[in-house]
Amino acid sequence: MSIKKQAYEILLLALQHKIAAIENDLLAIKESISNETKSTAGDKYETARAMLHIEQENVMKQLANAQNQKHELTAVDTSQVASVVRHGSLVTTNYGIFFIATAMGKIVVDENSIVTLSKISPLGKVLMGKKENDIVLFDSRRYEIKKVE
């Protein structure tokens, strides 16, 4: 299996776990809201429910972001190789290897450290459309593109 395919599989699994964990958090919050019983101190009850609703909204935003990341990742076709950097490209530079798919930080594949980037991240935007042997300047660094897969 290619490094790009392995990186894709690692990211997909990580996102599936992340989504499942967030969904469990959301379920726990919903249960807390439904189990909240009105006490004699009405203000305390209302405050607790309001805090749970705020937490629920935050968790729902996290879930939407994770689902968007998964959608962004599943749009990648790991079998395609382009001559220019595009969504789904594995880009080898003098500063390391970058997988343009979704931003999930660093992963390790076959002892290779790979930085995962979104195509709309600052560095992702700079790399998009470039080809082997191109040089791009980013954050006071001179990136030499050695290979595009």
What does the pLDDT read at residue 37? Answer: 58
Model pLDDT, residue 40:
44
C-alpha distances (whole Å) from 6 to each of 11, 34, 39, 58, 116 are 9, 42, 54, 32, 13
Residue-level pLDDT at 108: 95
pLDDT, tens only, 32-62: 877 765 554 566 667 777 888 899 999 999 9
Mind listing the pLDDT tens digit for each residue in 133-144? 999 999 999 999
Instruction: Work out the number of other CB atoms within 10 angstroms of the CB of residue 58.
Output: 12
Query: What's residue 27's pLDDT?
Result: 94
Domain-wise residue ranges, the chain: 3-74, 90-148
